[in-house]
Structure 1
Amino acid sequence: MNPQGERWTTDQVLALAPDEASRKAGGKLAAPGPWSETGADEGAVWGQCKGSGKKPYQTVVDIKGPAFKCSCPSRKFPCKHALGLLLLWAGDGGEVAAGEPSAWAGEWLAGRRERAERQAGAPSGAAAPPRAPADPEAAKRRAERRMQRIGAGATELEQRLEDLLQSGLASAESGTGSWDETAARMVDAQAPGLASRVRELSSVVASGPDWPARLLEECALLHLLDQGFLGIERLPGPLAATVRSRVGLTTEAADLLTGPDAATVRDRWLVLAQQDSDDGKLLTRRIFLRGERTGRMALHLSFGGSPGRPLDLALPPGLVLDADLAYYPGARPLRATLGERHAPAAPGPVPPGGGIDAALAAYGDALRDDPWLDSWPVVLTDVTPIPSHDGKGWQLADADGESALPLDPRSLGRTSLWQLAAISGGAPVTVFGECGHRGFLPLTVWDPAPVSL
C-alpha cells in the first residue's frame, strides 16, 4: 500500500479551488521553496508555508475528508496554501515525504476523528457532555407558532400579489424599496423561502424585453406556493414536504441520519461537480453526486464564511465515495446529507449519461413533482458545443445533429464556456451540468479526466 494513501492528480486538486485566482495562487506555491516540515501519511498532508510575516502558515489537509486547516486569514476554502501543498504532494517529486504528523497537525486531525466517532456513535477517548433532553411539548408549541406566522405571512403576500395584478404588472416598480419591504415582512414571518422569491421578482422588473410576461410567470409560481402552504394539510406527504422546504422550513441533518424515520441509501457515489458561491456574507458549496448502482442524483450543501465556520467538506470531481446518504424529504428528493463512509474516496470512472432528449425528459419529470424547480442535474454524452444559429449564444448538439440544447445565458461570457469549447475542439465530449428553463449550465467536462468549468 502507498504509505501516503491514494495520491491525487493535479486536476483533482485544482478542481477543489473556489475560483481561478485561487488556482493561480496555489500553482505558484506548488514548489518546495516556501515549504518546510512537510509530510504525509495515509490520511493527511501537512506543511508550513513561508508568508510575508515572521511566522509561517501552518497548513494541514485531511485527504479522507477532504477537509482543510490553515493559520492564514483567508476566507476561501481551501486557501491557496492548502492548494499549493496538495499540488506539491500530487506532483510526487519526493518533496513531501511519508512520516508522522507534526504536533499542531496531529492535534487538529485527532480532533476531527474524535468528532467523527462521536457523530457515528462510536466510543472515543473523551466522552461528550450529556445534553439535556429536549422537551417535545415545547418543541411542538414552537413549531405550531412558526406555522402560524408563516401562514400569516403567506396570507399577506397573497394580498400584495392581488394588489399588484389589479394595478397592472407594467406599473410594477423597478426600484428595490417596496420589494425589499415585502421581503422583510416575509423574514419577520420566519419564511425565508418566500422572502427569497420576492427578491427574485424585483430582479425581473424592467429586466429586458417581455419582462411583464416573465413577472407574471414568477407571480403565478409564488401564488401557487402560497396556496400550497395555506392548504398544506390537504397535500400528499411528499408534496407537503416540498412546500415546507420551499417556504424555508428545514429538517435537521442529524434527524435524517438518526431520527425515527431515518433512511439511508448506500452506494458508490461519483462526485460530478463541486461549485462554490460567495454573496459577501456566506459561502455556499454545492457538491453533486450520482449513485453508481442506483443512478440517483444527489446534492450536498454546506455553508461557511468565517474562520470559525469553514467549508469543511470538499470532494473534487472524479472521485467515487462508498458512503451512506440520507435524502431530505420531498416530492422529488435531491438534497442529501452525508452519513457513514465505508471506504476512503478513490478515483472513479467517467459517468454514464444520455442525450439531450433524455435530459429534457428528466427535467420535465422532476418539474412535474416540484413546479418550483429551476433545474435538474444531468450528464450529457457525445455532445458538441457549437454557436447558435442566430450567433447570439451557444448550444450543445447531439452527435447526430438532430437535437440541440441552448446554454444557460449565465454561462455566456464566462471562462467556463471557452474552456468547454477548447476542450471539445469540435469533438463530442461528456458534460455534467444543470438542465432547466434557462437552458443548460455546464459544470464539469471529462477530457478524459474531469475538468471543473
Structure 2
Amino acid sequence: MTQQGVRWTADQVLALAPDAPSRKAGSKLGVAGPWSEAGSSDEGTVWGLCKGSGSKPYQTVVDIADTAGPAYKCSCPSRKFPCKHALGLLLVWAGADGTVPVGEPPGWAEEWLASRRKKAEAKRSSAATPAAPADPEAARRRAEKRAERITAGATELEQRLSDLLRGGTAAAEQAGYGLWEETAARMVDAQAPGLAARVRELGAIPSSGSGWPVRLLEECALIHLLDQGWLHRDTLPDDLAATVRSRIGLPAQPEGPPLRDQWLVLAQYDTADSRLTTRRIWLYGTDSGRTALLLSYGAAGRAPALALPVGLALDAEVTGYPGAGQLRAALGEQFTAPAPTARRPPGVRPDEAAARYGEALRADPWLDSWPTTLSEVIPTRNTGIWQLVDATTELALPIAPHAASGPGLWRLVALSGGAPLTVFGECGHQGFTPLTAWPKGAGETVPLC
C-alpha cells in the first residue's frame, strides 16, 4: 500500500490525542505557519520542523506505516504521545494542500527510522528464539496460593456485606468512603483487584442522589454474585468460570486460533483514575462480522501506547480471550498500515439493541454495556431527556447521562441536523453512549469521543 495516497481526516488525527488539552493545542499547530521543511514519503513517514519558544525549532517525525500503530518522535520536552507537535504535523499533512510534499527524509528523521527498523528486527529475532521453559510446578504453587488469598478475601467480603444488610443501609451513608476504602484495601491484599474496584465504587453511591439505597443494594447483589461465583467456580461451566476469574482480576491469555480480517476501527477512548489510564478500542471485522475490544493501559497521567485511527481499517489478526460473552481480544500480526474502507457494521433498531444487551447479560451478569450500531436514528430531546429515536418506528433509547452532558452530544446533534444517521456506541443499563457516527449517504466516520 502506498501511504501517500491515504489521507486521514482531521477527526482521525485528533482521535489519536492523549487528552483534550493535547487535542486543542495540536489543532492550533495544524496550519502551515509554524512549520518548515515539512515532507512525507511514499513509505508512510511525515516530518517537519515546528517553531517553538526557543531558538531551535522542534524536530518532529511520525511513522504512519508502522503496523503496530503510528509511532512518534519529537525533540520537545513533552511526555505525551503523541505530543501537540506530532498532532499538528499530521493535521497539516492531512490537509493535502501541498504544504507537506513528497520527498526524502532529512538525516535526523532517517536516523530515527533506521533505529526503529533495527529494534523491530531484533524483536522479531527474539520472538523467533524459543523461550526457556517455565517451571510448571512453581507456577501451579503460585496460582494455588493466590487462589487461597482470593478465597479468604471473598469470604471476608461476604461477611461485610451481611453486616451491612443486617445493620441497614443508613450505616453506609454515615460511614462514608472510609468503610469501603478499608474494605477495598483488604481485597487488594487478597490479590483480587476486580473485587477491590467494585467495592471502591460503593463509596460514591450514598452521595449519588435520590434512590441511592436501591442502587447500593443492586451493586452489593452483583458483588455477592461474583463472590459466590468464585467460591463455587469448580461447579460452573468453563466459559462462565473464565468470566468469573476475569471479573475477579486474574490475568488471562488469549486463546484459540487468530482471526485475520479487515478490522475497521470503530472507536477509541480513555478512562482514568488515580492509578491507571485505560484505553478501549473497538474493532469490527468487515468480513467476519465480529466485534472485538482491545484494551491498553498506561500509568496514571500517561496515555497508553496503542493508538489506532478511528474510521480506518487494518489487515490484521486478533485472538480472543476466554470467557462467556467476552469480546476482549489481543491484536496480533498486522499486515498493512490502516487504510480507508467503505465497509460499515450493520445497524439495528433500539429495541433490538436493548434485547442484545439483555442476551449478553445472561452470559456475563457484571457487564455494564454491549457494543451496538443503531441505524436510521435521530438525536431528540424529549421531556428533558436526550434520546436516539428510530426514524421509522419511533422507538427510542435514552442517551446515558454522562454522554448527554458531554461535547460529543452536541457534535452528534449538529451532524444529524434533524436527519437520521448511523451511530455506533455502547448500550447499557444507564442508556446508550454514542461513540462514532456516520451521516446518511456519507462515508466519512465522525468520532464523538
TM-score normalised over the length of structure 1: 0.90
Say if 1:280 and 1:224 are closer, same or farther in 2 by CA, change over 3 A: closer
1:410 aligns with 2:402: yes
On the 8 A contact 1:324/1:341 being kept in 2, the answer is yes
On the 8 A contact 1:3/1:98 being kept in 2, the answer is no
Offset, 1:237: 1.0
On the 8 A contact 1:67/1:314 being kept in 2, the answer is no
1:384 aligns with 2:382: no
- Rounded to whole Å, the distance in 2 between the matches of 1:82 and 1:278 is 23
On the 8 A contact 1:276/1:283 being kept in 2, the answer is yes
User: What secondary structure sits across from 1:354 in the alignment?
Assistant: coil
- Rounded to whole Å, the distance in 1 between the matches of 2:274 and 2:80 is 12
User: What secondary structure sits across from 2:207 in the alignment?
Assistant: coil
Q: What is the aligned counterpart of 2:81 among 77, 81, 91?
A: 77
- Rounded to whole Å, the distance in 1 between the matches of 2:277 and 2:4 is 31
Offset, 1:431: 0.7
Say if 1:54 and 1:75 are closer, same or farther in 2 by CA, change over 3 A: same
1:343 aligns with 2:336: yes
1:223 aligns with 2:218: no
User: What secondary structure sits across from 1:205 in the alignment?
Assistant: helix
On the 8 A contact 1:242/1:330 being kept in 2, the answer is yes
1:286 corresponds to: 280
User: What secondary structure sits across from 1:289 in the alignment?
Assistant: strand
Matching of residues 32-111 of structure 1 within 5 Å: 32-41=32-41, 42-64=43-65, 65-111=69-115
On the 8 A contact 1:302/1:311 being kept in 2, the answer is yes
- Rounded to whole Å, the distance in 2 between the matches of 1:14 and 1:279 is 22
2:311 corresponds to: 318
On the 8 A contact 1:193/1:247 being kept in 2, the answer is yes
- Rounded to whole Å, the distance in 1 between the matches of 2:369 and 2:119 is 35
On the 8 A contact 1:14/1:23 being kept in 2, the answer is yes
RMSD value over aligned CA atoms? 2.4
2:238 corresponds to: 237
Say if 1:149 and 1:422 are closer, same or farther in 2 by CA, change over 3 A: same
Say if 1:337 and 1:23 are closer, same or farther in 2 by CA, change over 3 A: same
1:6 aligns with 2:1: no
On the 8 A contact 1:75/1:305 being kept in 2, the answer is no
- Rounded to whole Å, the distance in 1 between the matches of 2:98 and 2:313 is 26
Say if 1:426 and 1:364 are closer, same or farther in 2 by CA, change over 3 A: same
Q: What is the aligned counterpart of 1:361 among 343, 352, 355?
A: 355
Offset, 1:78: 2.3
Say if 1:54 and 1:143 are closer, same or farther in 2 by CA, change over 3 A: farther
Q: What is the identity, as a one-letter code, of the residue corresponding to 1:184? A: A
On the 8 A contact 1:274/1:317 being kept in 2, the answer is yes
Q: What is the identity, as a one-letter code, of the residue corresponding to 1:407? A: I
1:422 corresponds to: 414
On the 8 A contact 1:18/1:275 being kept in 2, the answer is no
User: What secondary structure sits across from 2:267 in the alignment?
Assistant: strand
Q: What is the aligned counterpart of 1:273 among 261, 267, 277?
A: 267
On the 8 A contact 2:272/2:300 being kept in 1, the answer is no
- Rounded to whole Å, the distance in 1 between the matches of 2:111 and 2:326 is 38
User: What secondary structure sits across from 1:295 in the alignment?
Assistant: coil
Offset, 1:178: 1.1
Q: What is the identity, as a one-letter code, of the residue corresponding to 1:422? A: A
- Rounded to whole Å, the distance in 1 between the matches of 2:415 and 2:113 is 38
User: What secondary structure sits across from 1:150 in the alignment?
Assistant: helix
On the 8 A contact 2:369/2:429 being kept in 1, the answer is yes
On the 8 A contact 2:194/2:248 being kept in 1, the answer is yes
Say if 1:140 and 1:346 are closer, same or farther in 2 by CA, change over 3 A: same
On the 8 A contact 1:289/1:299 being kept in 2, the answer is yes
Aligned length: 439
Say if 1:268 and 1:117 are closer, same or farther in 2 by CA, change over 3 A: farther
Say if 1:296 and 1:440 are closer, same or farther in 2 by CA, change over 3 A: same
2:135 corresponds to: 135
2:296 corresponds to: 302
Offset, 1:130: 8.2
User: What secondary structure sits across from 2:4 in the alignment?
Assistant: coil
Offset, 1:251: 1.9
Say if 1:262 and 1:118 are closer, same or farther in 2 by CA, change over 3 A: farther
On the 8 A contact 1:15/1:451 being kept in 2, the answer is no
- Rounded to whole Å, the distance in 1 between the matches of 2:122 and 2:239 is 31
Offset, 1:337: 1.1
1:400 corresponds to: 392
2:248 corresponds to: 247
1:450 corresponds to: 445
User: What secondary structure sits across from 1:268 in the alignment?
Assistant: strand
Say if 1:44 and 1:306 are closer, same or farther in 2 by CA, change over 3 A: farther
Offset, 1:278: 3.4
Offset, 1:111: 4.5
User: What secondary structure sits across from 1:363 in the alignment?
Assistant: helix
- Rounded to whole Å, the distance in 1 between the matches of 2:377 and 2:3 is 40
User: What secondary structure sits across from 1:173 in the alignment?
Assistant: helix
Say if 1:19 and 1:445 are closer, same or farther in 2 by CA, change over 3 A: farther
Between stretches 37-46 and 360-369, larger displacement belongs to 37-46
